[in-house]
Amino acid sequence: MKRILFLLIVSSLVVCEGIAQSSTTGSIEGTVTDEVTGEPLAGANVILLNTTKGSATSLIGTYFLGNLSPGKYDIRFSILGYRTVVVQGVRVIAGLKTTVNASLTQTAVALDPMMVMAERPPIQKDVTGSVHTIGAESFETLPVTTLADVIGLTPGVTLENNIRGGKTTEVVYLLDGLPIQNFIEGGLAIDLPQSSIADLTVQTGGFDPEYGNALSGVINIVTKRGSDRHTVSLRAEKDDLFGGKQVDKRNEVDLEANGPLAPDFSYVASLTALHTDTRWWQDLSQFFSSPIVRAYSGFAKTEYQAGSGIRLGVQLLASYKEYHDYEFSWRFHLNGLPPRQDDGYRIAAMINHSISPSFFYIASVSRFTVNSAIGNGSREHTDTTIYQWDFFLRYIIDGNRSWWARRKQVHNLTKVDFTWRLNQNHLIKFGGDMNMQEIYSDILRYEPQVNPYGKPFVDKPMLNYSTDFEYFPRMGSAYLQDKIELSRDGMELNLGVRYDFLDPRAERPLAERVPTGGNQYETYITGSVPASIKQLWSPRIGFAAPYAENGYLFINYGIYYQFPLFDYLYSGLNNVSLRKGSGILIGNPDLRPEQTRAWEMSLKYAVSKELVLSATYFHKETLNQIDVKTFVPTNSSVAGDYGFAEYVNNPYSRSSGIELSVSSERSSHVSGSISYTYMTAEGLSESPVGGLQYYQWGIEVPSRMYPLSWDQRHTVKVIAMADFPLGVKISLSWLFHSGRPYTYYPSKDGFTPEDPTQEFEPNNARMKDYNLVNMKLMRLFKISTKPLFYMTVYVDVRNLLNTKNVRWVDSAGRIGGELEDLTAYDPSRRTRLGIRVEL
C-alpha cells in the first residue's frame, strides 16, 4: 500500500506540476526598434510566414515565438508608418533559442517589404553546457552513415563513442524527446532511417534537468515534419559495383516521402533496407548464403493542425535485423555460432498546444517494444557441452556455442512538458514522465573458463551465465528549471533540479552457499527482502556571461544519475535458479544508481561572423559503478554449483580534459572545424564483470586507479566541406588519436607469465597511434522539368589512405595475438558509390 500511495503521489506530481522549451522544439525572440533613434517599437506585428504563428511586441519592443519545430523560417516585421522587413532563412534548432532583432525605417508612403537574409549569431549564448548540433544536410554531405559515425566526429568522443571518459552505456538516446534506450543491455535499442532525421544534437556536458538517466551524454534526434508540398527522394548505395576484395558487398536503399494529405494534415515516411555480407564475407560465405546481414527500418509520422495553437501527431518507428556473428577463432566452424535477430517498434501519440505565445505544453504517450533472440529452436534442445579446439587450443573445430536467448522489454511512457515565458527575464520549464515497464529475459549460456591470455580450460566446468526472469519495474521523473536573463548583453543563469525514482518491484533473496565437500556448494534461500524504492534529487546550475565584445564565458555544474541496467538488477534471481545454483551471476535489485558529479568551464570567442574559437575544461567523478563480488574462495572453480558472484556497487572513476576547437560554419564556400582534445579516463574497473574475471584468473583485484581502455589521451578531429562550381562538393574528415592502453603481461606458453615476478597491472602499455581519413565527393544535377528533379551522384571513400589502424593487441603486444586475428585491425579502404534523386 505504501508503494501504491507513493506512485499515486508521483503520478499526481507529474500530471499537475511535472511537466520544457521542450527538447523537440525551439524558439525565436528579439527586439524591434526604430532604425534611426534606436527606440523600441511597441505593438509591432511579428509573423512567421506560411504558418499560424505570430505575436506583437511588448511595451519595450520585445517579442517571443515559442514551440517551433526545427527548420528554417521567414519572419515579417511590420507596424504602421514603417517599412516592412522580412528576415529570411531563420534557422530554429531543437531546445535552443534563436535571437532575431529588427530595425524598421519610418516611411510616409507604402513600399515593398525589404528582404534581409538571416545571420545566425556565431555563439549560442543561452546554452551553458556543451551542445553540438548536426543538421540533416550533414548526413548527406559528410562521409558518415550511422549515428555512431556522426557522434564520433564530436570533440570529447572516442572511437567507440565513449563520451568524456564515460562508458558507452552511460549515454541516453532520445527520438523526438522520448527514449529509445535498451534498458537491459544499454545503448541504442532500435535503428531508424537516415532520411527521417531533421536535426541531431549531441550534448557532452552540462545537461539541463529535463534530461535524466544519463552520466556522459545525451543524443537527441528530432525527426522531419511533413512539408506543404509533395517530395519524394530515393538514395541507393553500393560498394562492390566493380568487384575486388576491399568490399563488404554492401547494398543500401533509403526511400523518403512527405507532403500534405489534406489541408492542415501532413505526413512524412521513410524506409531503409540494408543487405551486407560484412567485411568477413570470404569466411562467412563458406557457411551461409548471402546476405549475411538483413536490416530494415521504417518511420512514419502524421500531424494535424487541429486549430490555432493545437497540433496533433502520431508516429510509428519499426526495425528488424537478422545476422550472424563473426569470431576469428571460429572461422573454420562459423556455423557453430548461433544466429541472431533483433526487432522492435514504437508507437507514439503527441499533442502540442500553444495556450498563448508565451506558454505551451507538449504531452505524449508511447509504447516501445524491443525483442532479441539468439539461437534457433528451443532452450531444451540447445547444446551445453563444451566445444572442441584444435591441438594447440587456437581454433574451434567442432561443437556449438551454448547460447540461446529470448528477451523482451516493453516501455509504456507518459510524458508532458511545459514552457512558460514568464517575462523578458525568466523562461521557466517544468516537466515529468512515468514509465511502466515489462522486462522478460530467458537465457541459456555456458562459456568456457579462460586464463588471462584467453586460453580455455578444457578440463574445467563451463561458466553458467544462464538466467530467467520477469519483472515489472516502474520509474518516473519530474523537473523544474528557470533560465534567468540577467542582462541584455548575454549574461544568463540557469537554475534547475530534477527528481527521479525507480521501483524495482523485486525482492532480494537471502541466499547461503553451504560447502558440501570437494569445493562443491549447495544453495539455501533463508528469506527475502523487498528492494527499496530509489529516490534521487539532482541539482543543475549553469552561468553564461560576456567577457569581451565577442567573447563569452560558460560555467556549469551538475549531479547526474543513471539507474543500473536491468541485467544487473534481476539476473539469476529466479528462486528455482538460485536453488539449483544454475547461474554464476546474481543480480541485486537494491543496487544504488551510479552517480556522476561534473563541472566544466568554456571560453568562446568570435573572431568574425564566420570564425569561432572555443576552449573547454571538464572534470567528472563517478561513484557507485557496477562490479561483481564473488562469494567463494579465489582458488575454487566459479561455475554452476561451485560458486557465484553478485553485482555490487563499488568502483570509482574520474576523467578530465581540455577541448580546443576552431569552427567555421557560415562561409558560403568553405566550412568545417578543427578540434583537439586532451583527456584522461581512470578507474578501478572498466567492466561490470571485471571483478569476476580477476577471481577466475586467481589475480588480486586492482586496488589503485589505472587508465581505462578508452583512455584516449590526444585526439585531433578535422572536418572540412567545400563547394565548387558546377554543383560539386567535397567533404573530408580526419580522425587521429594517440595509442590507447592495453595490459602487457606476456606469456611463453599461453598459460604462465613470462616473468613470474611481474605484477599484473591493468592497462600498463599503449598501442600505436590511430589515423583515419574519409572523403566524400558529390555532384548535384538540377533538371529543369515539371515537377523539378534533382539528382546527386557521389563517391564515399572510407579509410582513404588505406591505413592499417590497430584496434587491439594481446598481452604480449602482438597485433591480433598468436592467430594474427584480422579483427584486430579496422577495415581497409572501402569505396561506396551512390545516387540520390529527389522529385
- Mean pLDDT (the chain) is 86
Lowest mean pLDDT among 472-481, 690-699, 760-769: 690-699
pLDDT on residue 670 = 85
Residue 216: count other Cβ atoms within 10 Å of its Cβ: 29
Q: Is residue 797 part of a domain?
A: yes
Write out pLDDT tens, residues 775-826. 999 999 888 767 778 899 999 999 999 999 999 999 999 999 888 899 999 9
Q: Is residue 141 part of a domain?
A: no
Residues 6+ apart with CB under 8 A from 256: 193, 195, 196, 232, 233, 234, 268, 269, 270, 271
Boundary (domain end) residue, out of 117, 149, 180? 117
Write out pLDDT tens, residues 358-367. 899 999 999 9
| Separation CA 755–CA 764 (nearest Å) | 15
**Structural domain count of the chain:** 2
Match 586460453 to its residue by C-alpha cell. Answer: 455
Q: Residue-wise over 380-417: b if at least 16 C-beta within 10 A, else e?
A: eebbeebbebeeebbbbeeebbbbbbbbbbebebbbbb
Write out pLDDT tens, residues 85-96. 999 888 888 777
Q: Residue-wise over 439-470: b if at least 16 C-beta within 10 A, else e?
A: bbbbbbbbbbbbbbbebbbeebbbbbbbbbbe
Lowest mean pLDDT among 181-195, 415-429, 642-656, 759-773: 642-656
**pLDDT over 90, % of the chain:** 52
pLDDT on residue 13 = 35
pLDDT on residue 802 = 95
Lowest mean pLDDT among 112-121, 198-207, 413-422, 457-466: 112-121
Q: Is residue 774 part of a domain?
A: yes
Nearest to 199 by CA among 69, 73, 304, 99: 69
Nearest to 558 by CA among 476, 618, 637: 618
pLDDT on residue 667 = 57
| Rg value, the chain, Cα | 28
Lowest mean pLDDT among 108-112, 249-253, 609-613: 108-112
pLDDT on residue 521 = 58
Stronger pLDDT, 60 or 342, i.e. the higher one: 342
Boundary (domain end) residue, out of 117, 151, 169? 117
The CA dihedral of 371, 377, 379, 380, to the nearest 10 degrees, is 160
Let me know: does 84 contact 116? Beta carbons within 8 Å.
no
257: cell is 516521402
pLDDT on residue 518 = 54
Q: Which of 51-65, 299-313, 503-517, 520-534 has the highest mean pLDDT?
A: 299-313
Query: What stretch of H or E contains 66?
Result: strand 62-68
pLDDT at 476 over 90: yes
pLDDT on residue 68 = 84
Q: Which pLDDT band holds residue 107 (cuts at 50, 70, 90)? A: confident
Q: Is residue 549 part of a domain?
A: no
pLDDT on residue 108 = 72
pLDDT on residue 577 = 55
Q: Is residue 788 part of a domain?
A: yes
pLDDT on residue 281 = 94
pLDDT on residue 666 = 61
Boundary (domain end) residue, out of 98, 117, 136? 117
Q: Is residue 30 part of a domain?
A: yes
Lowest mean pLDDT among 141-145, 644-648, 677-681: 644-648
Match 563499488 to its residue by C-alpha cell. Answer: 650
pLDDT at 313 over 80: yes
Write out pLDDT tens, residues 362-393. 999 999 999 999 999 888 888 888 888 888 88
Stronger pLDDT, 9 or 149, i.e. the higher one: 149
| Separation CA 58–CA 484 (nearest Å) | 18
pLDDT at 563 over 70: yes
User: What is the SS3 assignment for 341-397?
Assistant: EEEEEEEEEEEEEEEECCEEEEEEEEEEEEEEEECCCCHHHCCCCCCEECCCCCCEE
pLDDT on residue 97 = 81
Residue 211 burial by CB count (10 A; 0-12/13-18/19+): exposed, middle or buried? buried
Residue 99: count other Cβ atoms within 10 Å of its Cβ: 16
Residue 806: count other Cβ atoms within 10 Å of its Cβ: 18
280: cell is 568477413
Q: Which pLDDT band holds residue 515 (cuts at 50, 70, 90)? A: low
* Strand 265-276, strand 251-262: pairing: antiparallel
**Sheet with strand 45-48: strands edge to edge:** 54-56, 45-48, 71-78, 85-92, 114-117
774: cell is 574519409
Domain interval for residue 833: 725-839
pLDDT on residue 514 = 64
Stronger pLDDT, 812 or 459, i.e. the higher one: 812
Please give the average per-residue pLDDT across 207-222, as a whole number. Answer: 92
Q: Is residue 193 part of a domain?
A: no
Let me know: does 570 contact 577? Beta carbons within 8 Å.
no
| Separation CA 309–CA 55 (nearest Å) | 12
Q: Which of 604-608, 642-646, 770-774 has the highest mean pLDDT?
A: 770-774
pLDDT on residue 253 = 97
Q: Is residue 783 part of a domain?
A: yes
pLDDT on residue 15 = 33
pLDDT on residue 732 = 95
Lowest mean pLDDT among 266-270, 422-426, 522-526: 522-526
Please give the average per-residue pLDDT across 641-659, as a whole number. Answer: 79
Write out pLDDT tens, residues 683-700. 988 888 777 778 777 788
pLDDT on residue 580 = 53
pLDDT on residue 630 = 61
